[in-house]
Amino acid sequence: MNKGGLQVFQGCGASVLLDDTPSFVGEKTASPNLNSLRGFEVIDGIKSDLESICPPKTVSCADILATVARDSVTLVCDVSNFHSPPEECELAVWCNVDQVGQVVQMGRRDSLTASITAANKDIPEPNSSMATLVTKFQNVDLTLNDMVTLSGAHTMGKARCSTFSSRLNSLQQLCSESNSDTTLAHLDLVTPSTFDNQYYVNLISGEGLFSSDQILVTGDD
């Protein structure tokens, strides 16, 4: 979901896909995204394939991102790891919906510009305090429940050592022997390739990778 980080905070126009131009510096090199946001070539490939079949500019990159997010989650969901009964967990129910059944609303327009300044300002940092997290989510009309739910996207993905190296002793060696700005670790060290609720289990065990993850349980101590 960090691929959608600024999607949440500045709309859903896929601005994160835009390369730098003479008129603006884009979001790819913003602090929350640098060296940890990946897969741009996958979206570029899908866009190219679509435009070889459909008239150019018929399907937006923003719609592609939304559809890819749906299909990716469906492919890696594992409801066996959810607390039972699964029908009480919205995420488990969502994972049980097949790709065709979960309809993605189309019609998003692509952004024409991007801003590294906005990305650095609006996307929460990995060391954000609870107060900062709450404020940034409330600024875009998202509730505390939304914040906790969206944070669960950290069940998958990777992060740079420089964003968490002071937190977990189990990763000290990995980070101390490498370039902390390029070496990556899984956000969920237990089930890194599965979309499940292990992220929340990790928080309860004190194993959240980012301090801004762990603070959802501990608060601003």
Name, in order, each residue with C-beta under 8 angstroms of 118's C-beta and a sequence gap of 6 or more. 6, 10, 27
67 C-beta neighbours (distance < 10 Å), count = 16
Which H or E run contains 50? helix 40-53
Q: In the chain, which segments carry CATH 1.10.420.10?
A: 124-221
Task: Assign domain 124-221 to its CATH superfamily.
Answer: Peroxidase, domain 2 (1.10.420.10)
| Inter-CA distances, 46 with 18, 60, 88, 150, 153, Å | 15, 11, 35, 25, 23
User: Is 202:190 a contact under the CB 8 Å cutoff?
Assistant: yes
Least confident of 49-63, 74-88, 165-179: 74-88
Q: Tell me if 165 sits within 8 A of 180, measured CB to CB.
A: yes
Other CB atoms within a 10 A radius of the CB of residue 45 amount to 10
pLDDT tens-digit readout, 155-193: 988 888 888 877 776 777 778 766 667 788 899 989 998
Q: Could you tell me which residues are annotated as the binding site for substrate?
A: 124
Binding site members for Ca(2+): 11, 15, 27, 155, 188, 191, 196
pLDDT in tens, 7-45: 455 567 889 999 999 999 999 988 888 877 888 999 999
> Binding site membership for heme b: which residues?
154
Q: Which residues are annotated as a binding site?
A: 11, 15, 27, 124, 154-155, 188, 191, 196
State pLDDT tens for residues 134-155: 999 998 889 999 999 999 999 9
Q: Which phi-psi region, left, alpha or beta, contains residue 77 (left: φ > 0; alpha: ψ -120 to 50)?
A: beta
**Residue 126 reports pLDDT greater than 80:** yes
